[in-house]
Structure 1
Amino acid sequence: MISRRAKIRLTACLVLFLLAGAAWFILGKPQATISELPAFAPESGKPVAPAQLPNSPESVQTPTAEVLSDRVVEYHIDVKLADDNVLQGTQTLTWTHPGKKTVNELYFHLYPNAFSSQNTTFMQESGGKLRGDVMPANGYGSMTITEMKTEDGLSLMHRMQYVQPDDGNIKDRTLIKVRLPKPVKGGETITLHTRFEVKLPQIFARMGTAGNFVMAGQWFPKLSVYEPAGRRDRAVEGWNLHQYHGNSEFYSDFGIYSVRIRVPEKYKVAATGFPTRPSVVKNGEKIYQFYADDVHDFAWAASPDFVYAEEPFSAPNVPGVRIKLYLDPAHEDLKERYFYAAKAALTNYSKWFGRYPYSTLSIVVPPKAGNGAGGMEYPTLVTAFGADDTSPGYDLERTVVHEIGHQYFYGMVASNEFEEAWLDEGFTSYAEDKVMELEYGLIPNLPVQAGLITSPAPLTQESWKFDSQNDYASNVYTRGKLVLLGIEQQVGAKTMERILSTYVKKYRFKHPSSTDFQRVVEQVTRASWSEYFNQYVYGSGMADFAVEKISVKPVQKEGNTWYESSITVQKKGSDYKGVPVRIVFEDGHVVNKQWDGREERITYRLTYSSPVSWAMTDPLYSMVLENRHMNNFLKAGLDEPVQFRWSLGATKLIEAIFGGLTW
C-alpha cells in the first residue's frame, strides 16, 4: 500500500517529469554528451544509483554540472578492436569556433601515420627509436579515414589534402587539411561524421600492441588547435599546425569525450574518464562506455591479463578519487607501492597546485614487451614502465610520481608541447623531485645533471629543432627544472611555492606561454625578471664561473713577511646572482666571498700572513645552472701553461659531486 506522503511525492515527481518533457519539446533536445540509458546492477537488472554500484572496473559515475574549461570540442566515438590489431571507429565531432575570423578549412592530426614507413618525419627524426625502445621489424601501422561527411551528408573525402607545414616532407601524412563546403564564422559550430581505421603498430613509441596488450594513445582523428588572438601572446588568431615529430608530444583543445570501446570479451579496459554504465558482453565482445569532460585527449589500454585493483582516496584538495590499477601480472605483488606513490603525488600536488578536479586516476602497468607505451601521461590515465620479474628500485615510484605530475602541467595547464615543452616537462620534473625528496628521502644529484647539459638551447625552441633526443631531454626536462630551481634560490622556497601556485591556478585550462609564466613571477616578486628569462629561458644561457688566475707576492711589513694575494674570477657564461667564492690559505685560513656575477671578472686582493693555497667558485656546488665545474678550482703556484684544473684532486672532485647524493 502506498502512503499519502508517498502519493504526494509521486505526484510531484510526475509533475516535474511533465514539465521537463515540455521544456524538452519547446526548447529542443540538448546535444547528448553521454549515453542516456540508466545503469543496471549486474545481478538484478534494475536501475541503481552510482553509489550502489560494485567496487569494480565497471563502477559507473555521472558527470558533474561544473564546467572548468571552454569545451571547444566534443567527440562521440565508437571503436572496436578487431582482428589483426585493427581499430575500426566512427566519430562525430562538434567544434565551436573560438575566434572571430571566418575559417574555410579544418585540420586533423592523424598521429598513427607517423609509423607508416621509414620515410615519415617522426621516423626520420627519431631513427625508429624513442627512449631506448626500438621499432620492431615490420612493426608499421597507419590510420585511414574511410568516410567524412557533414551533418547534411555531404562527403568531404575529395576535399582532403595532407600538409607538411614544418618540413615539407611529402611522405609525412600526420596532418590533413579538410576544405569545408561552407565557412564557419566565429562562435558558430560545425559537426562532422567520420569513419576511420587504425592498423596499430607494434609498440615502441607510446602507442600500439605487444602480444595481447593494446595501448591506444593518439588513436583517433584529432582536431588541431585554433588559437584566438591573445592566447600564448598570439597577435593574430589562427590554426596552430605541426606534424608529429621525433621529439615533440601534443597540444589540443579542451572538450567532452563520450567513447564506446568494444574489445574481445576477456579483455579489461582502462581509459580516460569513467564508465557511465557497467560493461556488457554481447556477441563475443565486451562493450565499455566511458565519459570525460574538461580534458584535451582520450586514451585507453586493454589486455586480458590485467590484474585490477582499486582504492578510494581523498585529501584536503582531493575531494574524492578512485585510484585504479591495471597491473601486468609480473607486478601484482607491488600494488601497494603503486597506490602509495599515487596517493603521495596527489596529496602533494593538490596542496601545492590546487584541487585535482577529476574523480578517477588510472595507472596502467604494461608488460615488459610493451615498455614503449610506458612512462606516458594522458588525462586521468598514466602508464608506468613495462613490468618484469626483477625487483624494481625507486624508478617505479619516480615514474608514477612524474606522470601524475603531468595531470597538472600537461593535463590542466595544457601548454603547447610542440613549441614550449619545458612548461610541461621541466615543471613536472621540478615537482617530481620535491615529492621524491619529501616522501622517499631521495635528493637529486643536481651538479651531475647540470654537467650533462652539453648543448644548452632556448627552452622556447620548437621540439623538433633540438639537435638530438638527448639534447631535447637535457634541455626540456633537466635544464627547464634547473631554471625553476634558479628562481627558487633567489626568492626562497615559500615564495617559489606561491609563484607556482599562482601560475597553475591562474592558467588552469588556459594554455599559457613562457611569457605568461614570466608575468606571474614578476607579479608575485614585484620585480623584473627580463634578464634572467632572456638568458635562461629565451636564450641558451648556462652559468660558468672560473678562477682565472692566482698570483702571490711576499712583502715585508714591520719586519715580518706578509703575502699579497690576487685572485681573479671570471664570468664565462650567463649572469647568476650570488656567486660564492672560497679562498683558502696555506695555514688553513678560509675567506668566503659573494660576487654578484654581473661583471666580466672580479679580482680579490688580500694581504695575509700566509700565502693563498687555492681558490674555488661555488665550492658547495650550490649554483644549479653551473654546468662546467672543472674550471671552478685553481691551485696557486702552477705555471700558467701547465695549469691543470683538478678540483681538490680528481678524487676530491668525484667526492664533492657524488658524495651523499642520489638521482
Structure 2
Amino acid sequence: MKRILFCFTFIAMLISGCSNESTGKKEDLDKKAETVQTVEDTEKENTEKQEENVEEAIVFKKSTPIKMDKSLPLEPLDSFKTQTRENENEASYHLDVTLKEDEVFDVKANINIKNLSKDTWGDLIFYFIPNAFTEKNKPEFLESQAVVNIGEVLVDGKSVDYKLQKDTLQLLLDHPLNPNQELNVEVAYSFTVPTNGIRFSKAGENSYLAQWYPMLSTYHSGWDKTDYEHGGESYHNDFSQFTVNYQLPDDYVVASSADNDPTQASSKGSLHGEEIKEFYITFMKNMNVSKRVVDGTEIRVFSYKEEDLNRETYLNLAEETLLFFNKNIGKYPHKQLDIIMDQGGMEYPGIVTVSTSAAGDISHTVVHEMAHQWFYGMVNNHPYYTAWIDEALTNYAAYLFFIKGKNQEPISVFSRADAVIEMASDYGKMKPSNLSVPEYKGQPVSYSASVYENSSLELWKLSDANADKGIEYLRNYFNLYSYKEVDANEWLRYTRSFFQIKDVNQLSDWISFEE
C-alpha cells in the first residue's frame, strides 16, 4: 500500500469512523483539504528544486511498457487464454548482513544471474534504493539521511567498473553475457539507515530494512528500470530465491520475508525465502508480540507496549482476513505472516507494516495490506506504470471482506472511498486511475482517490454491486495469473472478458485510453 506519504495521515483522520455513517460534510472536507493542499504545495516546491539539478542519466537499453489496446476483440470467458510476458532474467540472492556497534550495516551481496533473453548484455542494471536516501538524493522533507559506501564490485571474481546515480546501479561487463549464460555478482557495501525514513527507516533501536540490497531489474527486451519515487512503488522485480545471514551486536527480535524467523530474540541466524519478489527484514527491540497458528500459517503481530490491547484486536482481525482470503481467493503460500504496528502501511512478501499514528480505526489498512499478499505477492505487475492493477484489486478485496466476511452494509463500507473522492473532486484533483506514479507526483489526494478508491468503486459497479460476483472476479484473476506478470493490456483483456464489456469506452470515466 502506497499511503506511506506523511500527508496520508490527514486522509486517515478524515475517513476514520466512516464505517457506521457516510462522511463528506462539506465544511469538514474543506478543513482537511486545506491542510492536505498545504502539504501538496510543499511537495511541488521540493520537486521543482530537485529538478533544477538534474544529472545526466545513466544510459542503458530500456524496456517499453505495454499500453492498452482497446481495439482488441471481446473474448468469451470460458475460452480465455492468458497472454503474459515472461521476465527475461533469473536471479538468486545470498546476502550476509552485519550490524556494527556504530549502527553501520555491512553487507556482502552474492547474486547469481542468468540471461534468459535473446539479447547479449553488456551491462547489468540494479535498483540500489539505499542511495536514494543519501544527503544528495533524499526527499527534502526528510530530516535524516543514509550514508552509503560501495566497496568491491566483482563479476565472476574479477573487479568491474560501475556507475551509481540516485537508485540506479549499473555494472559494466568486461565480457558480454550471451543468451542462456550465467554469471556471479558480488557487491560489498555499507549503509546507515535514516531516522524516520520512508520504509527504509530507523525508529529508536529498531531498523526497518526495505529494498536494502542490489535488486536486479526485470528485463523485457530491455531493462525495466524506472527512477525511484517515494510517493509509490517504483521498483519492479521478479520472483527469486533468497538466503540471508545476519550478525548483530546484541539480541534483537527478527521479522522478515522468510518462513523460518527465530521464535526468540537472537544475534545471528540464517533465513530463507523461496519464490518471493523481495526480501524485507527488521531488527526490533522493545516490541511485544501476539501470535497464533491459523490454517497452517503462524500470524504474528508486533507492537509497542502502549498498543497491547490493539495488538490483540488486530490479531483477531488478521485471523478472520486470512481465513476469508484463503477460502475465497486462494491459499496463502507462506508459513508465517507478520504484521508490524509501525512504519506506515506497506506490503512485503510475508510481512506488512501498518501505521498506528493516524487517528481512528486502522482495520481497513490491516486488511488491505494483507490482501497485497495475493495481489502483488503472488500476482506480479509493474507498480510504477500500473499501480492501479494491484492497488485497485487489493482495495476492492478489502472492501469485499468487510461486505461479505463482516456482513457490513456496502453504503457504510464504501463511505471512506466516497469521502476521499469527494475531497479530490471538490479541489479538482481527480485523475484517471491508470496513470503512472510520477503523473500523480505532489498530489497524494489525487493518487489515493484515483488509484485506490475510485477504481474500487468502479469494480463494484462492474460487479453489479454483488459481492459474490466481485469475489469471483478476483478469484478467477488470481487463478489465471499466480506467479505471472500482468501488464495494462492484459488487465484490460481479462476485465473486459470477465464482465463481458462490449464497448470499452464504458471504462473511460476512470481509465484513460491513449490514441
Give the TM-score range, shorter chain.
0.7 to 0.9
Q: Distance in 1 between matches of 2:131 and 2:191?
A: 9
The 5-angstrom pairing of residues 235-634 of structure 1 reads 237-249=221-233, 250-275=235-260, 286-314=267-295, 320-366=296-342, 373-386=343-356, 393-395=360-362, 397-437=363-403, 438-439=405-406, 441=408, 443-445=413-415, 446-453=417-424, 454-467=428-441, 468-489=443-464, 492-539=466-513
Deviations 1:411-451, CA, capped at 9 Å, x for gaps: 11121111111112222111112223432735221443332
Amino acid paired to 1:147: E
Q: Distance in 2 between matches of 1:84 and 1:486?
A: 55
Q: Distance in 1 between matches of 2:290 and 2:423?
A: 39
Contact kept, 8 Å, 2:325 with 2:371, in 1: the verdict is yes
**Other-structure match for 2:79:** none
Long gaps (5+) in structure 1: 1-68, 129-134, 164-172, 228-236, 315-319, 367-372, 541-663
Let me know the Cα RMSD of the aligned residues: 2.5
Q: Distance in 2 between matches of 1:223 and 1:334?
A: 38
% identical aligned pairs: 23
Amino acid paired to 1:474: A
State the 1:539 CA deviation.
Answer: 4.7
Q: Distance in 2 between matches of 1:205 and 1:527?
A: 40
State the 1:254 CA deviation.
Answer: 0.6
Deviations 1:56-102, CA, capped at 9 Å, x for gaps: xxxxxxxxxxxxx9992210101012233321111110122232211
Q: Distance in 1 between matches of 2:455 and 2:198?
A: 23
Query: Match for 1:155 among 143, 149, 159?
Result: 159
Query: Match for 1:209 among 187, 202, 219?
Result: 202
Contact kept, 8 Å, 1:420 with 1:459, in 2: the verdict is no
State the 1:180 CA deviation.
Answer: 1.0
Q: Distance in 2 between matches of 1:70 and 1:323?
A: 34
Secondary structure, counterpart of 2:299 in structure 1 = strand
Q: Normalized against structure 2, the TM-score is what?
A: 0.76
Secondary structure, counterpart of 2:236 in structure 1 = coil
Q: Distance in 1 between matches of 2:474 and 2:378?
A: 14
Q: Distance in 1 between matches of 2:446 and 2:259?
A: 38
State the 1:534 CA deviation.
Answer: 4.3
State the 1:313 CA deviation.
Answer: 0.7
**Other-structure match for 1:144:** 149
State the 1:174 CA deviation.
Answer: 0.9
Deviations 1:282-339, CA, capped at 9 Å, x for gaps: xxxx10211111101111111221213321111xxxxx11112222222223332121
Contact kept, 8 Å, 1:216 with 1:301, in 2: the verdict is yes
Secondary structure, counterpart of 1:309 in structure 2 = strand
Secondary structure, counterpart of 1:141 in structure 2 = coil
State the 1:187 CA deviation.
Answer: 2.6
Q: Distance in 2 between matches of 1:495 and 1:303?
A: 42
Q: Distance in 2 between matches of 1:85 and 1:436?
A: 42
Q: Distance in 2 between matches of 1:266 and 1:83?
A: 13
State the 1:350 CA deviation.
Answer: 2.2
**Other-structure match for 1:635:** none
Contact kept, 8 Å, 2:421 with 2:430, in 1: the verdict is no
Long gaps (5+) in structure 2: 1-86
State the 1:399 CA deviation.
Answer: 2.1
Query: Match for 1:94 among 112, 117, 130?
Result: 112
**Other-structure match for 1:111:** 129
Secondary structure, counterpart of 2:202 in structure 1 = strand
**In the superposition, relative to structure 1, how do residues 292 and 197 fare at CA in structure 2: closer, same or farther (>3 Å)?**
same
Which structure shows the bigger proportion of residues in strand conformation?
1
Q: Distance in 2 between matches of 1:280 and 1:349?
A: 31
Q: Distance in 1 between matches of 2:253 and 2:264?
A: 10
Q: Distance in 2 between matches of 1:70 and 1:506?
A: 20
State the 1:405 CA deviation.
Answer: 0.9
Q: Distance in 2 between matches of 1:457 and 1:411?
A: 27
State the 1:239 CA deviation.
Answer: 0.9
**In the superposition, relative to structure 1, how do residues 302 and 387 fare at CA in structure 2: closer, same or farther (>3 Å)?**
farther
**In the superposition, relative to structure 1, how do residues 424 and 536 fare at CA in structure 2: closer, same or farther (>3 Å)?**
same
Amino acid paired to 2:464: Q
The 5-angstrom pairing of residues 166-177 of structure 1 reads 173-177=166-170
Secondary structure, counterpart of 2:126 in structure 1 = strand
Q: Distance in 2 between matches of 1:296 and 1:79?
A: 19
Amino acid paired to 1:466: Y
**In the superposition, relative to structure 1, how do residues 354 and 348 fare at CA in structure 2: closer, same or farther (>3 Å)?**
same
**In the superposition, relative to structure 1, how do residues 276 and 102 fare at CA in structure 2: closer, same or farther (>3 Å)?**
same
Query: Match for 2:176 among 158, 174, 183?
Result: 183
State the 1:529 CA deviation.
Answer: 4.8
Contact kept, 8 Å, 1:365 with 1:387, in 2: the verdict is no
**In the superposition, relative to structure 1, how do residues 443 and 271 fare at CA in structure 2: closer, same or farther (>3 Å)?**
same
Contact kept, 8 Å, 1:521 with 1:529, in 2: the verdict is no
Q: Distance in 2 between matches of 1:278 and 1:401?
A: 24
Contact kept, 8 Å, 2:97 with 2:247, in 1: the verdict is yes
Deviations 1:467-509, CA, capped at 9 Å, x for gaps: 422222222112222232232238x443333222221211111
Q: Distance in 2 between matches of 1:162 and 1:496?
A: 45
Q: Distance in 2 between matches of 1:494 and 1:356?
A: 20
Contact kept, 8 Å, 2:420 with 2:448, in 1: the verdict is no
Q: Which moved more, 1:289-298 or 1:467-476?
A: 467-476
Amino acid paired to 2:511: V
Secondary structure, counterpart of 1:83 in structure 2 = coil
Contact kept, 8 Å, 2:462 with 2:499, in 1: the verdict is no
The 5-angstrom pairing of residues 22-61 of structure 1 reads none
Deviations 1:492-540, CA, capped at 9 Å, x for gaps: 4433332222212111111202321221123334443521344422259
State the 1:265 CA deviation.
Answer: 2.4
* Larger RCO of the pair (alpha carbons < 8 Å, separation 6+): 2
